[in-house]
């Protein structure tokens, strides 16, 4: 799933540096889908497609997006470069790299200089899911249906936690 076509105009952009990032970033897409947040997913590489990145980031707000989720691995410049070219909130997801298990991605994304913020999440799936929850929270500020979906999502999560541990869950 790369598009939520239930509503035509995407409110959240999910971008990633490579096709190889989709295995992680699909968790952000699936979470947005669950919450009923219209989104788009695109491969936008800071290093390999810099003009695509410029066009995407500089036009994101005018196209009606409310937030961008940017996932990348290794020398992960995508979230920071995107944040430098849009006033929208940018949530960065460090993708787990083979060589350094995503620590390189995390440090590349989180260590932004003062003045250009990237809201940096955890490495991997947890970060992708939480980035979607944060982006949905931004959308929920002006969309009561998404606010309700977020409340319901949390209630389901709470209900799913057993009080007593078992040997073979
Ligand atoms: C980064 O390099 C991408 O975000 C990806 O995580 C990493 C490796 O990319 P591929 O070589 O798999 O295309 O730009």
Domain total of the chain: 1
Q: Let me know if residue 2 belongs to a domain.
A: no
pLDDT digits (tens, 9 = 90+) for 47-98: 999 999 999 999 999 999 999 999 999 999 999 999 999 999 999 999 999 9
The CATH number covering residue 114 comes to 3.40.50.1970
If you take atom 6 of ligand 1, which residue's CA is the nearest one? 73
Q: Let me know if residue 16 belongs to a domain.
A: yes
Q: Let me know if residue 130 belongs to a domain.
A: yes
What is the arithmetic mean of pLDDT over 89-116?
98
pLDDT above 70 as % of the chain: 95
pLDDT at residue number 169: 83
Instruction: Please work out whether the CB of residue 72 comes within 6 Å of at least one atom of ligand 1.
Output: yes
Q: What is the CA radius of gyration of the chain?
A: 16
Instruction: Please work out whether the CB of residue 95 comes within 6 Å of at least one atom of ligand 1.
Output: yes
Q: Let me know if residue 164 belongs to a domain.
A: no
Q: DSSP 3-state assignment of 95? A: strand
Atom of ligand 1 nearest to the CA of 19: 13
ipTM: 0.97
Range of the domain at 123: 12-159
**How would DSSP label each residue in 49-87?**
-HHHHHHHHHHTTTTT-SEEEEEEESS--HHHHHHHT-S
Q: Let me know if residue 167 belongs to a domain.
A: no
pLDDT at residue number 7: 56
Mean pLDDT in the chain? 96
pLDDT at residue number 8: 62
Whether pLDDT at 6 is above 80:
no
Question: Cα of 38 to ligand 1 centre, how many Å?
Answer: 26
Annotated binding site: 18, 21, 48
Whether pLDDT at 149 is above 90:
yes
């Amino acid at each position: 799933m790369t598009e939520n076509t239930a509503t035509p105009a995407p409110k959240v952009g999910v971008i990633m540096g490579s096709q190889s990032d989709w295995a992680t970033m699909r968790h952000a897409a699936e979470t947005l889908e669950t919450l009923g947040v219209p989104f788009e997913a695109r491969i936008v590489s800071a290093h390999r497609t810099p003009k695509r990145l410029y066009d995407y980031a500089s036009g994101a707000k005018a196209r009606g997006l409310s937030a961008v989720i940017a996932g990348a691995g290794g020398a992960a410049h995508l979230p920071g470069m995107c944040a430098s070219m849009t006033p929208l909130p940018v949530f960065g997801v460090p993708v787990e790299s083979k060589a350094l298990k995503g620590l390189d991605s995390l440090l590349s994304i989180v260590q932004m200089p003062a003045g250009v913020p990237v809201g940096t999440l955890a490495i991997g799936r947890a970060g992708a899911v939480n980035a979607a929850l944060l982006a949905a929270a931004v959308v929920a500020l002006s969309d009561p249906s998404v606010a309700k979906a977020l409340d319901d999502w949390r209630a389901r999560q709470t209900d799913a936690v057993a009080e007593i541990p078992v040997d073979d869950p």
